[in-house]
Amino acid sequence: MRAGSRIGCESVQAFLISGVPGAGKTTVARVLATRFPRSAHIEGDLVGEQFIVSGFVPPQGPPADEAERQLQLRRSNMRALADSYAEAGFVPVIDDVVVSPRVLEGYVDGLRCRPLLFVQLAPSLEVIRLRDGARQKHVFDMWNHLDADMRAGMTSFGLWLDTSRLTAAETVSQILARSDEAVVAA
């Protein structure tokens, strides 16, 4: 295929890498994207926090209704970007926090890319706390409660990986070797 050729995005796989904040989504998604000759990493935090120049409301609000509207806008834009890149022949690798079936359903219903491969990174809370302490953006105390939500409502979807003892490269190798377990929409 020529660079820049357009193909149907229904024939380009898309990856959705999830986990609670601090689980390693962005790092793993970026490493995964490097494994394909043509790929795009669509980073949830970048789309959510950097694209809005004025009027940004963080996911925790306040106000809660505006925070929810902006989360929906962020996800809508991420799906549109993924489809646009897929249509141009790039493998989209999205990273986002997906801790409820409703959010996953939004990706399944809203993306044209197929198949959609969903990977839930699930290191232990202790590992997340340690990783959080080693980075600039400290979010563990604010968001660690999402781990229980994720484990309660999402275990029957996609590929779950306990990445507590895995490097990003080892995690990506597991994702690629077990990609058939990650398919949530063919």
Provide the residue range defining the domain that includes 23.
9-185
The CATH number that applies at residue 89 is: 3.40.50.300
Q: Is 4 among the domain residues?
A: no
Q: Is 162 among the domain residues?
A: yes
- Please, which residues bridge with residue 92 across strands? 40
22 with 134: CB under 8 angstroms?
no
Residue-wise pLDDT tens for the chain (186 aa)? Answer: 344 445 567 778 999 999 999 899 999 999 999 999 999 999 999 999 999 999 999 888 899 999 999 999 999 999 999 999 999 999 999 999 999 999 999 999 999 999 999 999 999 999 999 988 888 888 888 888 889 999 998 989 999 999 999 999 999 999 999 999 999 998
Q: Is the peptide bond before 59 cis (omega within 30 degrees of 0)?
A: no
> In total, how many domains does the chain have?
1
69 with 58: CB under 8 angstroms?
no
Q: Is 3 among the domain residues?
A: no
pTM: 0.92
